[in-house]
Amino acid sequence: MKKVISLSPTKSGFGPLLYSGDLSLGLKRAGELGYDGVELSLRDAKELDSKALQHQLSLYNLRVYGIATGQTYYNDGFSLFAEEGEKRLKALERMKGHVDLAAQLGAAVIIGGIRGKIESLVDYDEIFSHGKEMIGEVCRYALDKKVMILLEPINRYETNIINTLAEGMNIIRELGYANLRLLADTFHMNLEEVSYGQVLLEVGPCLGYVHFADSNRLAPGWGHTDFQGIYQTLCEIGFDGPVGIEVLPKPGDDEAAKQGIKFLNHLLKNN
Ligand code: LER
Ligand code: MN
């Protein structure tokens, strides 16, 4: 498993990101602490200087494993499941930019917060099917570029579109794209799943990436999630992908980043 930390070059209103607004510092710390790589939460791929990024990655011996895309919705209001077609297309355009960047970096692209929310319950099914088409468009575009797309179920308090891993897996099966996988986030699982172990066994074949955050969104070990059990199930299903520390910068960025790597090192060494 690869040890990954979630960073953002822009100061973001979206909470669980470390060194938000200072990517250079985040990359430096990730390298010093011994992370294998980073996940970047981006608003617009065009805003990133990819040459400077590649230089820093090689300096600190890091890779980008994932590009998170929710800021397109949280900051700009464009979502793949927006009621208005124009907003859906804007979100799709951003996703294509993220896929282009991911192709250069060898990263996967996450469909999490960029799904947005469906406001109209009367037209829910129709809007949902438009959104599903958008996911298909992203996958088709990414397939040519050999980029993996990750569908991340998110808890009911943040979205009403795909809350559980089973819902995510059903969509993946229905759409049938070879490059579409699931991202399991332990924070959302704590709120939505009956059991960590059982659902991970069920969705194992579709799983491409994991986010580790404790029950309270703090670094793992600072809440009451059973990471030992989760890790054992991940080993059982043969998961060998990225495990991203996606946590609140509390009590501070450095403290959370240190706890994340300390926890992962301990878990991986003692099992
Ligand atoms: C993003 O990875 C995430 O976990 C969500 O909470 C986004 O809203
Ligand atoms: Mn997540």
Residue tagged 């003692």 (tokens): 270
Residue predicted with more confidence, 53 or 271: 53
| Ligand 1 pocket test target in 185, 215, 225, 247 with most atoms within 8 Å of CB | 185
The per-residue pLDDT for 257 is 98
Residue whose C-alpha is closest to residue 160's, from 229, 79, 94: 79
The two three-digit tokens of residue 260, written as one number: 């994340």
Instruction: Dump pLDDT digits (tens) for 2-22.
Output: 999 999 999 876 689 999 999
Phi then psi dihedrals of residue 135, to 5 deg: -60, -40
The token pair that represents 235 in the structure block: 């080993």
pLDDT, one tens digit per residue, over 37-92 is 999 999 999 989 999 999 999 999 999 999 999 999 999 999 999 999 999 999 99
Q: How far is the CA of 177 from the centre of ligand 2 (A)?
A: 22
All domains of the chain in start order, with CATH: 2-269 (3.20.20.150)
What does pLDDT average to over the chain?
97
d(CA 228, CA 112): 25
Residues with CB under 6 A from ligand 1: 68, 70, 112-113, 152, 154, 158, 185, 211, 246
Ligand 2 centroid – CA 211 distance (Å): 5
154-160 mean pLDDT: 98
